[in-house]
Amino acid sequence: MSDATEPTDAPKPAARNIEDKMPRGILVRVLLYVFAGHAFAGFIYLLFTLGANR
């Protein structure tokens, strides 16, 4: 028998904890894109710097 003061559809602590965290795959992908974007921007900057010296 269930008590009337207890919510019946409350999320379990484990399920709520999963929703609070960002998935690991997304974090890795964001870090990879940030690194790749900065490396590409650095390469373009290097090309413009070398081209300006000619």
Summarize the chain as % helix, strand, coil (round to 5).
70, 0, 30
Looking at residue 10, its pLDDT comes to 61
Looking at residue 22, its pLDDT comes to 78
How would residue 53 be classed by pLDDT, with cut points 50, 70 and 90? Answer: confident
Predicted structure pTM score: 0.56
List CB contacts of 7: < 8 A, sequence separation 6 or more. none
Question: 3-42 pLDDT, tens per residue?
Answer: 566 666 766 656 556 667 778 899 999 999 999 999 999 9
